[in-house]
Amino acid sequence: MTDQVNDAVESAVERAAAAGEAWRATPPAERAAVLEGVADALLKHAEELWPAAAEETRLPEARLRGEIARTAAQFRLFAEVLRDGGWVEAVIDHPDPGATPPRPDVRRMNHPLGVVAVFAASNFPFAFSVAGGDTVSALAAGCPVVVKAHEGHPRTSDLTASVVRQALPDPGLLGLVHGFETGAPLVKHPLVTAVGFTGSVAGGTAIQKLIDERPDPIPFYGELGSVNPVVVLPSADPAEVASGFAASLTLGVGQFCTNPGLVFVPAEGGFEQAVAEAVGATGGGPMLTDKIREGYLRASGRLAERLTVLAGGGTVDGITPQVFAADLEAFADGLPELAEECFGPAAIVVRYRAPGDLPAVLRRLPGSLTATVHAAAPEEARDLVPALNRLAGRLIWNGWPTGVAVCWAMHHGGPWPASTTPAHTSVGAASIRRWTTPVAYQDWPGDLLPPELRDDNPLGVPQRVDGRLRV
């Protein structure tokens, strides 16, 4: 079996590396057209894709159709990114012999890294899987991809790969391997230049260990656990907060990386009771895999042993949405354990007496993808902003964290353990930067320069010339 696993990984990576040579040399406008072709193919084959995913994940049709549309939109976004050209970050400094020291002609831009290994996620069989954000951003950058399929939806993975390959100029640009045992040889393959991962802290830590054992450690971009704290201030409306929280908590049976796992509410004002009533009216549902189900039951059971159960929803398929309660002081005493992610429809409601008591506790929380504030008056939240800025990669005002817009400005990352590299995002236009490396050209012949760095700028990309940005 080991030989078969190694052979499968070797074949996929070598094919990807070979296909990648022509792909990285393909002009950005042509790569953009290919990405749009992939988007069209995904939508064209939606009637084949969503039923396979529904059978394997038990997610509803509407959710899966929407996810296919989102995945296609990601490919279209990166077609726009390629045509814009700003992602290469072209910089030109002309020579200045009068500078101290004298300055030569120096030009810099980003180039694709090489073969990217992607670990598919369990909870989004399309948008964070074979054709997900890691894959499309890597392809856009000019990198071939080898995906390790998630064991929760293997047939969906095969179908998706087949659809995408039909739209690629070389099917080797998208490799696919199956099985837990393929992860290690994929990460350690000498032709793999970077790894993208969406999953648990334990999984991400294991991958980082494999990378550290390589003779040439490579970049690792992992999206791991996140509790996504929500701060409710006294001026907020209890009924609106409670209904919105219950809906966000139980969306997709709580199986979102942006699920709100901590809610800080005033001890006065009826917030706690409103939350209890709203959550009590919800229901559970089937989870994506037996492993996720068992993990949720263990984690929620541990919370039940340490905290008061504030409310529980209806039990469906053995899963009950639950909310636990604690005073701010008791919660702080239970850190860091009480701030560990419970993947599923469970959260802790933390009562506080005064908003001024919150910053000290917020500064002790682990990093998150999101942090949310609910208030009627912005001034009420002013003293919380410094702590929130250091806590999460996306700050939300009077909204809910579930749902991540695919756009230019989106940042989907945060301090550990939300992600391994908080400066980078796994969603949005900026995610392409993960799969690039800068190269500077000093006194390089003009005929040999990439077109993005030439003075006549034949591709029309944004250039920073002698310190000034030209668009």
Q: What is the pLDDT of residues 341-360, one digit of tens each?
A: 999 999 999 999 999 999 99
Contacts of 91 (CB under 8 A, 6+ apart): 107, 108, 109, 463, 464
Identify each DSSP E strand in 98-151 by its residue range.
106-112, 115-119, 145-148
1: pLDDT strictly greater than 60: no
39 token code pair: 């988007």
Confidence at residue 376, expressed as pLDDT on a 0 to 100 scale: 96
Do 115 and 20 meet the contact criterion of CB atoms below 8 Å apart? yes
Q: Is the pLDDT of residue 39 over 90?
A: yes
Looking at the predicted structure, is the pLDDT value of residue 112 above 70? yes
Strands of the 368-374 sheet, one edge to the other: 308-312, 322-327, 346-352, 262-266, 229-232, 368-374, 392-397
Six-digit token pair at 292? 């996720």
Question: What does residue 309 show for φ and ψ, rounded to 5 degrees?
Answer: -80, 115
Question: Cα separation of 125 and 64, whole Å?
Answer: 8
Neighbouring CB atoms inside 10 A of 55's CB total: 12
In angstroms, the Cα distances linking 304 to 200, 308, 355 are: 22, 7, 27
- Asked if pLDDT for residue 2 goes beyond 90, the answer is no
> Smallest Cα–Cα separation from 59: which of 68, 71, 50?
50
Sole residue written with tokens 């180039």: 111
CA distance 327 to 32: 53
SS3 267: coil
Token pair of 40 as six digits: 């069209």
Residue corresponding to tokens 């945060």:
414
CB 211 within 8 A of CB 195: yes
Strands 322-327 and 308-312: antiparallel
pLDDT-derived band at 4 (thresholds 50, 70, 90) equals: confident
CB neighbours of 48 closer than 8 A, spacing ≥ 6? Answer: 159, 163
Q: Band the pLDDT of 149: cuts 50, 70, 90.
A: very high
Phi, psi of 49 (to 5 degrees): -75, -50
What is residue 33's three-state secondary structure? Answer: helix
Distance linking the first and last C-alpha atoms of the chain: 55
- Hey, which residues does 110 pair with through a beta bridge? 438
Closest listed residue to residue 142, CA positions, set 14, 13, 31, 12: 31
- The two tokens of residue 62 are 């509407």
Give the model confidence (pLDDT) of 203-252 as tens digits: 999 999 999 999 999 999 999 989 999 999 999 999 999 999 999 999 99
* % helix, strand, coil for the chain, step of 5: 45, 20, 35
Q: Residue 298 has what pLDDT?
A: 96
Token digits for 99?
A: 């500078």
Please tell me the predicted confidence (pLDDT) of residue 204: 95
pLDDT tens-digit readout, 422-434: 899 999 999 999 9
Structure tokens given for 72: 């296609």
State yes or no: pLDDT of 374 exceeds 80: yes
Which of the residues are catalytic? Answer: 223, 257
Pairing of strands 368-374, 145-148: unpaired
| Per-residue pLDDT, 194 | 98
Phi-psi category of 373—alpha, beta or left, where left has phi over 0 and alpha has psi -120 to 50? beta
Compute, in degrees rounded to 10, the torsion defined by CA atoms 71, 75, 81, 84: -130
Mean pLDDT of the chain: 96
User: Which helix or strand (DSSP H or E) is residue 146 part of?
Assistant: strand 145-148
Which residues have a Cβ under 8 Å from the Cβ of 164 and sit 6 or more positions away?
38, 41, 42, 130, 131, 135, 174
Q: How far apart are CA 440 and CA 366, in angstroms?
A: 37
**Which are the contacts of 311, defined by CB distance < 8 A and separation ≥ 6?**
275, 276, 277, 279, 280, 322, 323
